[in-house]
Structure formats: structure tokens, C-alpha cells
């Protein structure tokens, strides 16, 4: 079955034309680099996205601290992940990359801080 996909790995956004049979890609055109086919394979199997959001801080210099998942998580889990993120209260200073929730949602990804924040 022929399908069109937009590669989202970089701002170029190549329009990929793929032919899928039995869950496998048998042909792919339109990619300008090798990331395209890898993206298409993943997108057909299970779409994955990096989630970024903010957590509420307590006693820190910022009210909201930006966070993201350390790697892409299943797209189907994004809203569930948001529910968890809203429960978090961060009360310790963090540096960029510090883990806020390890194995977030039991996944193979951590929730990490994306901005440094010290005490108020």
C-alpha cells in the first residue's frame, strides 16, 4: 500500500513516499538523508515523540520549570504523560539534564529538566 509521510526529524521536512506491505516498508523515496527511512519505519510501527512541558516549582526562582522526555515516547502516551507531569511539584534546584522522574511512566525514558533553576 502506498503512503505519504512527512519526515519530522529536521526542519527540511522531506515528503516521503513509501510502499508498505504486511507492516514492512518495501520501497521509500523522497528522503534527503538516512534518517528518513529510520523515521518511516518507526512511524509505521509505533509513532514516537519527544514530549516537552513545564512542571510547577515550589520555593525556586521560577514558577514553572521546563522539562522534556530524554528520548521519544509513544505518541499514544502523550496525554497520559501530561497527567503525570501535572502532579509533579519540583522543590529542589536543578541543572539542565537533571532527572526529574526516572523511567517516566515505566518507559525507557526519563523526564529531565531543560532549564537550570536555583532556590528563590
Which residues contribute to the site for other proteins (CB under 8 A)? Answer: 6-8, 10-11, 13, 15, 47, 49-54, 56, 62-64, 66, 68, 75, 78-79, 82, 96-97, 114-116
Closer Cβ to other proteins, 19 or 61, answer by number: 61
Residue 31 touches ligand SF4, criterion: CB under 6 A:
yes
Residue 114 binds which of other proteins, ligand SF4, none (CB < 5-8 A, kind-dependent): other proteins
CB 119 within 8 Å of CB 93: yes
Residue 7 touches ligand SF4, criterion: CB under 6 A:
yes
CB 36 within 8 Å of CB 7: yes
Alpha-carbon 42 to chain mean position: 13
Closer Cβ to ligand SF4, 36 or 117, answer by number: 36
C-alpha count within 13 angstroms, C-beta hemisphere, residue 30? 18
DSSP 94: B
Residue 43 touches ligand SF4, criterion: CB under 6 A:
no
What is the Cα–Cα distance from 89 to 68, expressed in whole angstroms? 15
**Which triple of cell numbers denotes residue 22?**
504486511
* Residues contributing to the site for ligand SF4 (CB under 6 A): 7, 9-10, 12-14, 31-33, 35-36
Amino acid at each position: 500500500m502506498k503512503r505519504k509521510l512527512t519526515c519530522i526529524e529536521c526542519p527540511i521536512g522531506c515528503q516521503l513516499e513509501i510502499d508498505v506491505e504486511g507492516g514492512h516498508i518495501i520501497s521509500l523515496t523522497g528522503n534527503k538523508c538516512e534518517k528518513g527511512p529510520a523515521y518511516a519505519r518507526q512511524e509505521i510501527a509505533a509513532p514516537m515523540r519527544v514530549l516537552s512541558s513545564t512542571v510547577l516549582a515550589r520555593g525556586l526562582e521560577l514558577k514553572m520549570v521546563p522539562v522534556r522526555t530524554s528520548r521519544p515516547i509513544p505518541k499514544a502516551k502523550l496525554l497520559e504523560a501530561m497527567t503525570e507531569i501535572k502532579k509533579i511539584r519540583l522543590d529542589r534546584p536543578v541543572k539542565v539534564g537533571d532527572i526529574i522522574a526516572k523511567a517516566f511512566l515505566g518507559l525507557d525514558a526519563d523526564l529531565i529538566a531543560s532549564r537550570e533553576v536555583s532556590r528563590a
